[in-house]
Chains A and B, each alone.
Chain A
């Protein structure tokens, strides 16, 4: 069974034939594709132009990219347009994606962020002429990484994910707002009931704690 069917079949409410649709059935957390499955899906897109695999990736990432962009202040219509653009970039650059260097979610995050920066830049210049941006894999570690380093990079990524899960709810919230909020400091102050002047030290504390957890997590 190919990767797209395997992932879809695991989703309880979507156990029929895979369909090309974004009407995603309710999926529990257990049905989230694993990072290995995401890697396989990107490989299927790269090697076979596999549209089913692309559809699974789209259903997983595009709605989350929209959430990320909208929370950051991008209007909903532009956010959906940019999320589509991010997925087009994923399709086109799939062949240059190297799972040894970074995970798919890290890659998609950098694509979405860079597209948003480019959009702001074009808007700032009033240059509406170009409707696409080049985004490549520069956000990934340098390609010269040896196999050992690549293994380290994968392990390191797993450690970071594990450390994030072990952060306190409040510090996890601080990180979430730091990345997602349109005005992180103001929103952190409001949500946590803190004076604005103390927010930066809270962010630093969360980062210090995350670093401690990353270093303390066994690979």
Chain B
């Protein structure tokens, strides 16, 4: 059962497309598996529609309607239905809400991507919001700690990464002056405040100095996005900091 959700302000920023790409894919990854947040996002779309209705109309070029009708009449303009199968042309949170559209992903994954996916625990859902992104192979970070840098197709500079921590191990302790978003993809950890299971989401700002500990039962895989400068404690954590580029 999912107990930790993105707050309304974050969901609203996702619905309004006001999030940077890194936070957007992590928040969308949560919504994919969370019916509660998908329902909230639908409400927030209704709010967006109401605000659109209330917006002051802009003055359009006089021929705007005629040009639009011409595009409708042009046989290829606007996309033929089959073209909807094109990969990567979909929005993050739209697909996040609808895992059923996953088969649309037309581009075959590369050999490296397949190898990476094969390295994941059986039964772990791979977020649809990461489609089109590339991941590095798992890299050693410390005893029982591995990580993979995620490069987003549409924002190569976004600080997004996966952490894979063995049972009973701690995640690197750190503070940050920006927002850190974490979605638990597999396993569970306890950060000293609360327990986070697969499907749970965490938002931590700079005021939190946390050192999550993975539950003894099994390894934990998290998807994280960090904005702002991050200060890690200890040598291992500094390695991560330099590798991730923070």
Residue positions of A touching B, CB distance < 8 A = 20-24, 32, 51, 54-55, 58-59, 61-68, 70, 72, 79-80, 83-85, 87-89, 91-92, 102-110, 112-114, 116-118, 120-121, 124-125, 130, 132-136, 138-142, 156-157, 160-161, 164, 175-176, 178-181, 184, 200, 203-204, 207-208, 210-211, 214
Contacts and interface: CB of A to CB of B under 8 A. Distances in A.
Given A63-B58, A92-B78, A106-B45, A207 B50 contact: no
B47 A179 contact: yes
Contacts of B59: 63
B24 to A, nearest CB: 9
A20 B66 contact: yes
B46 A106 contact: yes
B52 A65 contact: yes
Interface of B is mostly: helix
Interface string B55-73: 1111111101111110110
Contact of B17 (A85, A113, A160, A161): A113
Range class of the B interface residue count: 35 or more
Interface stretch (B80-88, B139-147, B231-239): B80-88
B112 interface: no
A88 B68 contact: yes
Specify the main secondary structure of chain A where it touches its partner: helix
A114 B94 contact: yes
Contacts of B154: 120-121, 124-125
Contact of A180 (B55, B72, B92): B55
Contacts of B95: 138
B192 to A, nearest CB: 24
B45 A118 contact: no
B136 interface: no
Contact of B64 (A62, A130, A133, A140): A62
Contacts of A59: 65
Q: Which of B47, B94, B101 has the most CB of A within 10 A?
A: B47
Contacts of A181: 18
Interface in B164-214: none
B42 interface: yes
Contact of B65 (A58, A64, A89, A108): A58
Nearest 3 CB-CB pairs, A to B?
A63-B57, A106-B49, A105-B49
A130 B95 CA distance: 20
Contact of B91 (A58, A79, A118, A210): A118
Given A88-B72, A124-B155, A161-B50, A23 B79 contact: no
A187 to B, nearest CB: 11
B58 A67 contact: yes
